[in-house]
Structure 1
Amino acid sequence: MRIKNVFRTICCLISICCSLSVHAYRVEPMVSEMEPFGKKAQMVMRVDNTTTQSLTVELLPFSMVMDEYGNETIEPADADLLVVPVTAVIEPGRSQSVMVRYLGEPAIDESKSYRVSVKQVQVDRASSEQANVGLLLQFNTLINIKPKNTNPHLTVTNIEAQGEAWHIEVTNSGNSYGRINKTNWKVSDGVQSVSLKGSEIGKLIDGTLVQPQKKRIFTMKPLEGFDLSSLSIEVDSLE
């Protein structure tokens, strides 16, 4: 069954989880890259229990496709990603290593994106402990399967005003995912210009991922004094 959810909602959830992780648990890495075969087709995640109670988590793999507005469509991907263990009980202050291996088609010609959901599971406790269960948290890690010799090619293909913000359309004509925060931009309106590094772009734009052969429309805080009607943005990829 297809599950559609908004990327911003996921980011919000991840942000909430991160802010509460000191009272719950941590998952590392949250973003990673693997290859479709060989040694790099496998990785290890770690779940740290930072609470004073036992933690039970469930780990489920999903394939992920993102539309131009950042909305995600995810589907179960058990045939593509092997996650071991599927469930784990982690004692207070301890960690659980989780093996993730790509089992999908090895001869892919462009990158593919997946989520591994790490979900805290409600466990029945004695009545004296029920009040300490707290908020059940869920992390949605991002894994990109990237074949060798594939690269993103990001270009800004449209710029327009949307209320007080700018809408920046970024097209990826490459065969690998690209990330806005891994590019440098030269912004010019013919009169003045400015160079923006990836970290600076990240402060102006929400979101970063552009999948291969797709486009994303990002909302950007306007640059003061620039004329939008003659604005151009040159993108220099760092990946």
Structure 2
Amino acid sequence: MNFLFRQILLTLWLVLAAISPAFAFELIPISRVFAPAGSGSTQSYRIVNDKDEPIAVEISVVTRSMDLEGKESYTNAEDDFLIYPSQIILEGGQTQAVRVTWLGEPNPERELTYRLLAEQLPIEILQETEEKPEQRKGQIKVLLRYLGSIYIRPENVEPEVVLDRLQWQSTEDGKNELAITLHNQGTARAVLKNFALQLTVSGEKIELLPEQLKNISNEVILSGNKRRFTIPWSSGLPVGEIEGSFDF
């Protein structure tokens, strides 16, 4: 099972595809940190049906990878986790606790990242699966999807973000923009809160504040990953030899 989605803020992605307001649920919480061993390797979630009609929800876990532009890709991680129950039929107003247990490496060298995938399916799908599991084949329409965050975090891991590259480039309409590549060389994810950039361009000092860098602030760089961002460049600012530093 492979997925390709776009990362958004608050580590949450919902898909609403031709869905009636009668169909809805909540995944609580949306993010959890697991210990790789011991009691912290099991965490609980709640699936809440806040409507009157019964719903069917299936829970699974996928690995989380991210490319240079921030696009995420996912692969099945069912061997790394035990989920109970993984399939639920919830009556209207009902809440179901779901226990998720990490079964993978007990001593990872760095933080590991996954997504908890909770999907609302047509209720007859799970009913048919319970009666005749072999009948569940082909593509299934997903009514609502949550992507939660799972972090397997060993002790003493830290992010370490360095400036990898600054590069001038032109947009399709010929305007200048600055491409900045950051590399998280640390052992934990980095969240670029209040990201600010200090530049020296052709000898002129320029500071870009968090409110000017909203496309960077609060973005995530996973451990060992690089992220590339582009910054529109005003025609009134110099373009030339450039050096920079940052903080967040």
TM range (shorter): 0.7 to 0.9
Structure 1 residues 53 and 174 mapped into 2: Cα distance closer, same or farther (>3 Å)? same
Of 85-94 and 211-220, more deviation after overlay is shown by: 211-220
Match of 1:43 in 2: 43
TM-score w.r.t. the length of structure 1 is 0.77
- Asked if 1:213 corresponds to 2:233, the answer is no
Give me the whole-angstrom Cα distance separating, in 1, the residues matched to 2:213 and 2:114: 22
State the alpha-carbon separation in 2 of the partners of residues 170 and 210 from structure 1.
Answer: 8
Gaps of 5+ in 2: 126-140
Which has the higher Rg, Structure 1 or Structure 2?
2
Structure 1 residues 49, 4: closer, same or farther in 2, change over 3 A? closer
- Work out whether residues 159 and 187 of structure 2, in 8 Å CA contact, stay in contact via their aligned partners in 1: yes
| TM-score, normalised with respect to structure 2 | 0.74
Residues 146 and 122 of structure 1, relative CA distance in 2, 3 Å threshold = same
Letter of the structure 2 residue corresponding to residue 176 of structure 1: A
Task: Verify the 8 A CA contact 1:159 1:166 in the aligned structure 2.
Answer: yes
Once residues 109 and 179 of structure 1 are traced to their aligned partners in structure 2, the CA distance between those partners, rounded to angstroms, is: 20
1:170·1:216 contact (CA, 8 Å) conserved in 2? yes
Does 1:34 find its partner at 2:41? no
- Unpaired runs of at least 5, structure 1: 126-133
2: CA distance between counterparts of 1:35 and 1:224? 50
Aligned-pair identity in percent equals: 23
* Residues 199-218 of structure 1: CA deviation (Å, up to 9, x unaligned): x4773338722122221113
Q: Does residue 1:234 correspond to 2:241, yes or no?
A: no
Shift of 1:111: 1.0
Corresponding residue for residue 105 of structure 2: 105
Structure 2 residue aligned with 1:180:
192
How is 1:144-155 mapped onto 2 (pairs within 5 angstroms)? 144-155=151-162
2-structure distance, mates of 1:221, 1:95: 47
Higher helix share: 1
Work out whether residues 180 and 201 of structure 1, in 8 Å CA contact, stay in contact via their aligned partners in 2. no
Whole-Å Cα distance in 2 between the matches of residues 123 and 196 of structure 1? 49
Q: CA deviation at 1:69?
A: 2.2
Q: Bigger CA drift: 112-121 or 82-91?
A: 82-91
Comparing 3-12 with 104-113, which one deviates more in the overlay?
Answer: 3-12
Counterpart residue type for residue 167 of structure 1: A
CA distance in 2, matches of 1:191, 1:146: 42
